Amino acid sequence: MAATGGEFPDVLDMHGLAAVLKVSHEWVRTRVKRREIPFTRLGKRMVRFTPEHVDAILAAGDQPALNGPLAARPTGPQAVPDLPPTRPVDIRRSRASARPSTPVDVRRKAGAA
């Protein structure tokens, strides 16, 4: 049995789901069109939602606490993976190597497209 099963009828249409979730009908319609939420299609245009669909929609939106007393704290020291030694890279370039050795003609040629 669904956790929210007693709060609404067994099957909802788009307007009913929008009312339960307190969102607009357009929000529900867009998510159905993009297939981002679970639903049952009874015909070409008839879409219905069961209590299990509503529970899945709500569960998909659950976000873990990142701060505060309900946030999951790491237990114990965090291991840092061993990385192979790398050579330092000199990212500085000299002025001479930055300039091309020969001048480049940037003008268009008359016959080129």
pLDDT given at position 1? 41
**pLDDT of 49:** 94
Dihedrals phi, psi of 47, to nearest 5 degrees: -120, 135
Q: What is the pLDDT of residue 68?
A: 74
Express each pLDDT in 1-18 by its tens digit.
444 545 556 899 999 999
pLDDT above 80 (res 83): no
Cβ atoms of 58 and 22 within 8 Å: the answer is no
pLDDT, tens digit (0-9, with 9 covering 90-100), for 34-77: 999 999 999 888 999 999 999 999 999 888 777 777 776 666 67
Residue 108 vs residue 16, higher pLDDT:
16
Kindly report the CA angle at 78 between 75 and 83, in degrees rounded to 5? Answer: 160
